[in-house]
Amino acid sequence: MALLDFRCRHPFSSGFQLDVAFESEHRFTTLFGPSGAGKTTILSIIAGFVTPREGYVRLGDRTLLDTDHRVSVPVKSRSVGVVFQDALLFPHLTVDANLRFGQRRRRKQKRVVDFGRVVEVLEVGGLLKRHPRNLSGGEKQRVALGRALLSGPELLLMDEPMASLDAPLKTRILAYLERVVIEWNIPTLYVSHSQAEVRRASDWVVILDQGRIVARGVPEDALGQPAPLGWSDSTRPMNLVRLDRVERTDGQLKGWIGSQLLSLPPQAPSGLLPRFAMFSPAHVFLSKQDLAGVSARNHLRGRVCRLATSNQAIFVAIDIGQIIWAEVTPAAANEMNLRAGDEVFCLLKAHGLSLVD
């Protein structure tokens, strides 16, 4: 039986209709899509903040909402933890009091979440006596995450919690989130408009656009659908490859994807070795043969999996050990006569890569 079963039909204020139905058995599910697609509304419905015109929400063996039978469990009893975009910590309470806020009422907690452990994992021990107004954005989000955890929820909802943080911070918080998920194994529904986040953290993704589901599945598959490939705003396609091994020699960073070597850009000496490399499909050069005498340091060999057309561009999915996308013009694709199964070389400039911890 699926862990989360969700259906709803609800008019938007902007005139759209939110009309979705999905199930998920996965630990970490992401709702992905451009702004206004309805992702936050779905979270609000699951949390109980909004009651849709028609809707059905089942979590495990509990029905939280069933408009047909006039069932709607009040917010406080849903056992759903929420992490908001702007943390929403209680300004009049210390960090310690904020964290403990959800603990008292959880007499019949199905999960017992230990306070000390949460403080340790999220590294908020030094903040306990402070007030939210004296915390940085990242610190607030960590506390918000801890607070939601300590209420012992059966499902964690996270509404673009990284949105108000800058890039380096985003990845750091994501790392905390990953730790949390591993430690307590709480099913999580995560809203994002960043492909990189999805690729990195998600087991499964539901892709929405204008109130409707346009794709669903494991990130690699779902994100390779035409719709998400065609987006050009912050949800635009992004490659995120996992570095199996990273070495630093003489100040130079090198990474490996399987057996293929990747020259990485110089990195500020923060001491942390990157785990992922991020680059846009538009920065991938394709060549039928390996080229010499070019400035691009990285020549990755792979096999074409498939081609997808979207928005006057052709996206080519290439298996280099992991799947990456390259964006080429239709003319180029024609000229090169690219077909599934062809061997190609992907040329990447080292400086075109972003490193992610």
Binding positions for another protein, rule: CB under 8 A:
47-49, 74-82, 84, 88, 90-92, 101-102, 104-106, 131-133, 147-148, 151
| C-alpha closest to that of 81 among 187, 153, 30, 5 | 153
Q: Report the nearest approach of another protein to the CB of residue 84 (Å).
A: 7
Q: How far apart are CA 206 and CA 215, in angstroms?
A: 6
- Cα angle 108, 114, 115; round to 5: 115
- If you compute the radius of gyration of the chain from its CA atoms, what whole number of angstroms results? 22
Residue among 75 and 282 whose Cβ is closer to another protein: 75
Q: Report the nearest approach of another protein to the CB of residue 47 (Å).
A: 6
Residue among 110 and 288 whose Cβ is closer to another protein: 110
Q: Report the nearest approach of another protein to the CB of residue 101 (Å).
A: 5
Q: Report the nearest approach of another protein to the CB of residue 277 (Å).
A: 36
Evaluate whether 330 touches 291 at the Cβ level (below 8 Å): no
Helix (H) or strand (E) holding 23: strand 17-24
Residue among 102 and 224 whose Cβ is closer to another protein: 102
Q: Report the nearest approach of another protein to the CB of residue 161 (Å).
A: 13
Q: Report the nearest approach of another protein to the CB of residue 46 (Å).
A: 10
Residue among 137 and 217 whose Cβ is closer to another protein: 137
Rounded (10°) angle between helices 115-122 and 167-184: 150
Residue among 70 and 104 whose Cβ is closer to another protein: 104
Residue among 48 and 255 whose Cβ is closer to another protein: 48
The structure tokens 């050990």 sit at 321
Buried b (16+ CB within 10 A) or exposed e, 260-276: bbbbbbebeeeeebbbb
Report in angstroms the alpha-carbon separations of 322 from 242, 244, 259, 287: 8, 11, 11, 18
Report in angstroms the alpha-carbon separations of 161 from 165, 200, 227: 8, 15, 24
Q: Which two tokens stand for residue 164?
A: 């108000």
Residue among 82 and 304 whose Cβ is closer to another protein: 82
DSSP string, 155-174: EEEEESTTTTS-HHHHHHHH
Q: Report the nearest approach of another protein to the CB of residue 106 (Å).
A: 6
